Amino acid sequence: MPIADRDNDARNAYNPWSRDWLKKPKTFRAEGYLEFIRTHPCLECGDPKTVAHHESLGQNMMGGKPPDTHAVPLCVACHDMRHHIGAENFWSRDVRMAIIQLLTEYLRNGNPDPADI
């Protein structure tokens, strides 16, 4: 493709008059995935009654809530503790790995990719 055409394509792809780039990025939400998370025992103590805690992986500097794909199961007591002492002091395990394992299990169960919904 001639360079001039390529430049035109790039220009067409970026529309400076569009206000879309001003919009806040949409945070991923999926209630079905949260239900799945709550069927798991607490990651820290194994208590079977859990809530879905949204773990921040350091990308939420704007103060928004992390996406539902970062949800992990914690019992009420551990959840309170997590918010009280912070992620660095709380986790005795690799929470990123736990998030990946939970997402993998969800997909293996034949559920649609929560990021595509």
Binding stretches for Zn ion (CB under 5 A): 42, 44-45, 47, 53, 75, 78
DSSP 17: T
Question: Which residue has tokens 């067409």?
Answer: 12
CA-to-CA distance for 85 and 89, rounded, in angstroms? 6
Shortest distance, position 88 Cβ to Zn ion, whole Å: 15
Q: Based on CB atoms, which residue is closest to Zn ion, 2 or 58? A: 58
Shortest distance, position 53 Cβ to Zn ion, whole Å: 4
Q: Based on CB atoms, which residue is closest to Zn ion, 75 or 102? A: 75
Handedness of CA 39, 45, 49, 55 (dihedral sign): negative
